[in-house]
C-alpha cells in the first residue's frame, strides 16, 4: 500500500510535464508563423511599371506580367481573296478571317436568295453540302460547299453581328470542264501539207476517258482507207489530243469536232487551199449569205418574179474587179474603181449594172420576209 502511494505522485508529475511540453511546442510554432508574416509584410514591393521592371525584381520572381490589350472592334483580314474559283463537282472553300471577334457572331449568307446558311458553327439550311469550318487559332470561318454545282456560283456574304453589321463579300465562280481547238474557228492549210489539230481539255475532275474526233459529224477511224491518220492523246490536269492528217486534199475540208467524254465538244473549220488566198475563203457571218458569183440574169429573174408585188431592194455590192471582169455595155461603161456600190430600187435602176459580173451578197425584203441570194 505504501508503495502505491509513492508511484501516483510520479505519474502526475509526468503528465504535467507532457502538457507543458505541448504548450511550449504550440507557442514556438505560433511565434514562427508570426515571424514569417512579419517578414512577408516588411518585404519590398516594387510598383508595376508596365512592361519594364527592375533587374533585381525580375530575378526575385518568375510570375508573368500581363497587360490588357487596347479594346478594338472586330475587323476582317483584307489580305484574303474575295474571288474564288471552284471546279464543278468538287468542294469549294470560301474563306473569311476575323480578328478581335470577342462575343460577336459570324454568319454566312447567300446573296442570291438572302438565305442564311450558317450562324456561328451551326448550319441553317437543309442542303447538307454547306458547312462552316472554324479555326479559332487563326480566326477563320470557312464556308465549305461540297460537290459545287453551277447554281452555287454567285456572291456570298460573311457577316459579323455588330451594330451596324460588318460584311465581307466573296464571289464564287464554278468552272465547267471545257474543250477548245487551237486556231479555231477557221484554219487554212495548203493542199498536200499536214493538217495538225490540237484540242485541249481543262477544268476536269479527272482526265477524260477518251477523246473522239469527228469530220462532218462522222467518227474519224484511225484505220480508214484514207490513210495517214493518227491521234495522240496526253492525259493530265490539262488533257491534250492531237489529230494529224497527212497529205491534205480538198475532200479534207470541212468542220472537225473534238469530243471529250466529260466536256462539251469543240469545233474548227478547216479550209484546204489549192492556190487560193486564205482571205478568199473567209466568210462574214454578219451578211445574209456567203459571197457568190451572181450573173445578171439571176437578178433579173427575181425582179420579174416580184414585179406584181411591192419590192424593196437594198443591196450592198463589194468587189475587187479587174478589166476582164467587165463586158462592154451600150448604156454605161464600168468605172475604173469599184470599191463598194449600194443599189436602191428607189433611186437607181438595175440597168445601171447590166453587163457587169461581180462577186456580191444581195439581201432584199418582200412582205417582211428576208430572201438571201
| Domains defined along the chain, listed by start | 75-175 (2.60.40.10), 178-273 (2.60.40.10)
Closest CA to 145 of 126, 121, 127, 119: 127
Can you tell me the distance from the alpha carbon of 283 to that of 279, in angstroms, rounded to the nearest whole number?
Answer: 9
**Which residue positions in the chain have pLDDT lower than 50?**
1, 40-61, 63, 66-68, 280-295, 311-373
Long-range contacts of 106-109 (CB under 8 A, 24+ apart): 106/141, 106/158, 106/159, 106/160, 106/161, 107/158, 107/159, 107/161, 108/132, 108/141, 108/143, 108/156, 108/157, 108/158, 108/159, 109/156, 109/157, 109/159
- Burial class of residue 287 in the structure, from the number of CB atoms within 10 Å of its CB (0-12 exposed, 13-18 middle, 19+ buried): middle
Which pLDDT does position 72 carry in this prediction? 78
Residues found in the chain: 373
- Burial class of residue 66 in the structure, from the number of CB atoms within 10 Å of its CB (0-12 exposed, 13-18 middle, 19+ buried): exposed
- Burial class of residue 143 in the structure, from the number of CB atoms within 10 Å of its CB (0-12 exposed, 13-18 middle, 19+ buried): buried
196, 281 contact by CB (below 8 A): no
Which pLDDT does position 115 carry in this prediction? 94
Which pLDDT does position 99 carry in this prediction? 93
Amino acid at each position: 500500500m505504501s508503495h502505491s502511494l509513492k508511484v501516483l505522485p510520479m505519474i502526475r508529475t509526468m503528465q504535467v510535464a507532457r502538457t507543458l511540453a505541448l504548450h511550449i511546442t504550440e507557442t514556438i510554432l505560433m511565434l514562427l508563423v508570426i515571424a514569417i508574416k512579419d517578414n512577408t509584410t516588411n518585404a519590398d514591393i516594387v510598383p508595376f511599371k508596365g512592361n519594364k521592371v527592375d533587374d533585381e525584381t525580375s530575378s526575385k520572381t518568375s510570375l508573368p506580367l500581363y497587360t490588357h490589350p487596347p479594346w478594338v472592334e472586330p475587323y476582317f483580314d483584307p489580305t484574303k481573296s474575295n474571288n474564288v474559283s471552284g471546279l464543278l463537282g468538287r468542294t469549294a472553300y470560301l474563306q473569311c478571317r476575323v480578328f478581335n471577334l470577342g462575343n460577336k457572331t459570324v454568319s454566312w449568307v447567300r446573296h442570291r436568295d438572302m438565305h442564311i446558311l450558317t450562324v456561328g458553327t451551326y448550319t441553317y439550311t437543309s442542303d447538307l453540302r454547306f458547312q462552316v469550318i472554324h479555326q479559332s487559332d487563326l480566326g477563320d470561318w470557312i464556308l465549305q460547299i461540297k460537290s459545287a454545282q453551277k447554281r452555287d456560283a454567285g456572291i456570298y456574304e460573311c457577316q459579323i453581328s455588330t451594330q451596324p453589321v460588318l460584311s465581307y463579300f466573296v464571289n464564287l465562280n464554278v468552272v465547267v470542264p471545257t474543250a477548245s481547238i487551237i486556231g479555231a474557228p477557221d484554219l487554212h492549210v495548203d493542199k498536200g501539207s499536214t493538217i495538225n489539230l490540237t484540242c485541249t481539255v481543262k477544268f476536269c475532275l479527272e482526265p477524260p476517258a477518251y477523246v473522239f474526233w469527228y469530220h462532218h459529224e462522222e467518227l474519224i477511224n484511225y484505220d480508214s482507207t484514207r490513210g495517214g491518220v493518227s491521234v495522240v492523246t496526253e492525259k493530265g490536269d490539262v488533257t491534250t489530243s492531237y489529230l494529224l492528217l497527212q497529205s491534205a486534199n480538198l475532200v479534207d475540208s470541212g468542220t472537225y469536232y473534238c469530243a471529250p467524254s466529260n466536256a462539251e465538244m469543240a469545233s474548227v473549220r478547216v479550209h484546204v487551199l489549192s492556190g487560193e488566198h486564205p482571205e478568199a475563203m473567209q466568210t462574214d457571218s454578219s451578211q445574209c449569205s456567203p459571197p457568190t458569183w451572181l450573173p445578171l440574169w439571176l437578178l433579173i429573174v427575181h425582179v420579174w418574179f416580184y414585179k406584181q408585188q411591192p419590192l424593196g431592194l437594198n443591196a450592198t455590192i463589194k468587189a475587187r474587179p479587174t478589166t476582164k471582169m467587165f463586158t462592154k455595155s451600150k448604156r454605161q461603161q464600168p468605172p475604173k474603181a469599184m470599191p463598194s456600190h449600194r443599189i436602191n430600187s428607189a433611186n437607181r435602176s438595175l440597168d445601171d449594172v447590166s453587163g457587169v459580173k461581180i462577186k456580191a451578197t444581195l439581201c432584199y425584203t418582200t412582205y417582211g420576209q428576208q430572201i438571201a441570194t
